[in-house]
């Protein structure tokens, strides 16, 4: 047996192990009779379309334990809550030992007085004003996160910490703090650690702290150093390590539409740091909520967002997630879901991308009432309970793993 054939066979066996592990860690079909399991797969509309680049990078990571695989999931309140993305993240990290490539880009939502994910703890001092890209009356500069917090207090601070286990050991030795670097901005000081080196990147707009050792928490002071300094704007942070693994970033703003993210003037600059291999688009539930929904405008907005991502990584791949079933004003099934779904199908065809049809997986029009009856959706018939978001995360992960296994098996057969 040649070495190449042996490597192929070993690789195939390893993929089978990962696949079985993914299946066993996901969900029991019989328990969720309200789910249309037959629709739980990744749709491609061209026989040559697939996630080749993403899957090959993932496969290299799983087999050789080298490289970083970066995923970005972006949307509105469904994503800001972080339960759905975190479930997908945990499933990816469970595929094999030591896959934690770092926490990546985060935003301290508590400072903006909005939902803060349960998986990181935030504390702060000083008075902070918040601005969201989804609020029309807010006019501020936004980056990837779509939220900015601003202080004019001469001394303030913030702290971030993580409770972790073997999977969620988000230790980091590099901290990028995204903020203004003009003469009018207050200065930063890392007080939780003594950094070995500090660098400012004025092109992309961040200060980077390099640490001697890894840590799982940080504390930063913001200080007015001279009279010309008047404010400090915080756009987010990136918590990074040097380990091979998966970096799963979620970007969500309550109430955000596609047009909301197009307001983010420094989105592309900060996106260069996130640099995703796979983007999971979940923007649309807020676009299609009202009767004045414009499908062509929705498509045009997505085209612009796609161009932004491709300007950073021409090989980036996209997974479009259709809107969940919902009710308008809790009374009427929202049929605009079909228009939004058609736009996403057209985009998936145009860009040889995948589509995960959450609407059909839920059971189609009016199905959210059954999710609510079973404790997986809330009374507003738009949002989900924690268990509902976790189920969505498991379903989407299973669809990705089914498709990954199919792709890799085909690669080995060839």
List residues bridging with 125 in a β-sheet. Answer: 157
DSSP letter for each residue of 181-240: -STTBPEEEE-SS--SEEEEETTTTEEEEEEEEEESEEEEEEE--STT--BEEEEEEEEE
- The predicted model gives 178-198 an average pLDDT of 97
Q: Judging by beta carbons within 10 Å of its beta carbon (0-12, 13-18, 19+), is residue 270 exposed, middle or buried?
A: buried
Give the CA distances from residue 207 to residues 112, 130, 175, 177, 201, in Å, rounded to whole numbers and listed in that order: 21, 21, 8, 5, 6
pLDDT at 22: 47
Pairing of strands 317-321, 354-356: parallel
Q: Is the pLDDT of residue 336 over 50?
A: yes
Q: Is the pLDDT of residue 295 over 80?
A: yes
Whether 201 and 217 have beta carbons less than 8 Å apart is answered as no
pLDDT at 165: 67
Tens-digit pLDDT profile for residues 91-144: 999 999 989 999 999 999 999 998 888 778 899 999 999 999 999 999 999 999
Whether 305 and 261 have beta carbons less than 8 Å apart is answered as yes
Whether 320 and 112 have beta carbons less than 8 Å apart is answered as no
Q: Is the pLDDT of residue 9 over 50?
A: no
pLDDT at 166: 63
pLDDT at 1: 41
pLDDT at 414: 63
Q: How far apart are CA 118 and CA 55, in angstroms?
A: 30
Tell me the pLDDT of the chain averaged across its residues. Answer: 92
Per DSSP, the three-state class of 256 is coil
Rounded (10°) angle between helices 3-24 and 386-413: 160
Look at 5-9, 49-53, 85-89, 346-350 and tell me which has the smallest mean pLDDT.
5-9
pTM: 0.94
Q: How far apart are CA 102 and CA 108, in angstroms?
A: 17
- The predicted model gives 198-217 an average pLDDT of 96
Question: Which position has the higher pLDDT, 177 or 3?
Answer: 177
Q: Is the pLDDT of residue 6 over 80?
A: no
pLDDT at 13: 46
Tens-digit pLDDT profile for residues 395-407: 999 999 999 999 9
Give residue 23's pLDDT band: very low, low, confident or very high (50, 70, 90).
very low
Nearest to 77 by CA among 131, 111, 117: 117
Per DSSP, the three-state class of 25 is coil
Q: Is the pLDDT of residue 413 over 80?
A: no
DSSP state of 249: E
- The predicted model gives 168-179 an average pLDDT of 93
Q: How far apart are CA 295 and CA 347, in angstroms?
A: 12
DSSP state of 289: S
Q: Is the pLDDT of residue 262 over 70?
A: yes
DSSP letter for each residue of 336-397: HHHHHHHHHHHHHHHTT-EEE-HHHHHTSTTTHHHHHHTTSB-TTSSSB-HHHHHHHHHHHH
CA dihedral 339, 344, 345, 347 (to 10 degrees): 130
Nearest to 385 by CA among 38, 87, 42, 41: 87
- Domains contained in the chain, CATH given: 14-101+244-414 (3.40.50.1110), 105-242 (2.60.120.260)
pLDDT at 396: 98
- The predicted model gives 74-93 an average pLDDT of 95
Q: Is the pLDDT of residue 162 over 70?
A: yes
Q: How far apart are CA 154 and CA 41, in angstroms?
A: 53
Neighbours of 403 (CB within 10 A): 20
Provide CB contacts within 8 A for 215, sequence distance 6+.
171, 172, 173, 192, 193
What tokens appear for 314 in the block? Answer: 């021409």
Backbone angles phi, psi at 264, to 5 degrees: -80, 95
Nearest to 387 by CA among 35, 42, 136, 20: 35
Look at 111-115, 171-175, 382-386 and tell me which has the smallest mean pLDDT.
111-115
């Amino acid at each position: 047996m040649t070495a190449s054939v042996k490597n192929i066979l070993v690789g195939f066996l390893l993929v089978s192990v990962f696949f079985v592990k993914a299946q066993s860690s996901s969900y029991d079909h019989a328990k969720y009779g309200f789910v249309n399991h037959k629709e739980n797969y990744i749709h491609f509309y061209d026989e040559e379309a697939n996630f080749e680049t993403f899957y090959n990078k993932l496969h290299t990571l799983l087999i050789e334990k080298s490289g970083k695989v970066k995923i970005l999931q972006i949307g509105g309140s469904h994503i800001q809550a972080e339960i759905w993305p975190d479930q997908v993240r945990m499933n990816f990290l469970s595929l094999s030992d030591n896959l934690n490539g770092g926490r990546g880009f985060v935003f301290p939502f508590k400072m903006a007085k909005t939902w803060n994910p349960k998986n990181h703890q935030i504390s702060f001092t000083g008075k902070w004003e918040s601005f969201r890209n989804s609020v029309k009356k807010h006019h501020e500069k936004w980056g990837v996160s779509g939220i900015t917090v601003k202080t004019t207090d001469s001394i303030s601070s913030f702290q971030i910490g993580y409770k972790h286990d073997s999977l969620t050991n988000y230790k980091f030795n590099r901290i990028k703090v995204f903020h203004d670097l003009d003469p009018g901005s207050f200065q930063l000081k890392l007080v939780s650690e003594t950094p070995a080196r500090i660098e400012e990147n004025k092109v992309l707009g961040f200060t980077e702290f390099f640490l001697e050792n890894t840590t799982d928490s940080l504390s930063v002071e913001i200080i007015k150093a001279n009279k010309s300094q008047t404010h400090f704007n915080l756009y987010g942070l990136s918590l990074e390590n040097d380990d091979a693994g998966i970096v799963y970033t979620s970007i969500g703003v309550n109430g955000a539409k596609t047009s909301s993210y197009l307001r983010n003037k420094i989105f592309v600059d900060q996106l260069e740091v996130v640099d995703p291999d796979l983007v999971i688009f979940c923007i649309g539930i807020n676009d299609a909520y009202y009767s004045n929904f414009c499908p062509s405008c929705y498509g045009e907005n997505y085209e612009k967002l796609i161009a932004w991502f491709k300007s950073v990584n021409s090989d980036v791949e996209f997974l479009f997630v259709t809107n969940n079933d919902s009710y308008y004003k809790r009374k009427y099934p929202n049929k605009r879901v079909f228009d939004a779904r058609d736009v996403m199908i057209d985009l998936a065809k145009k860009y040889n991308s995948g589509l995960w049809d959450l609407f059909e997986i839920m059971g189609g029009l009016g199905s959210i009432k059954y999710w609510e009856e079973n404790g997986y959706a809330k009374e507003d018939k738009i949002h989900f309970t924690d268990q509902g978001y976790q189920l969505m995360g498991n379903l989407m992960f299973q669809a990705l793993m089914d498709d990954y296994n199919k792709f890799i098996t085909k690669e080995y057969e060839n």
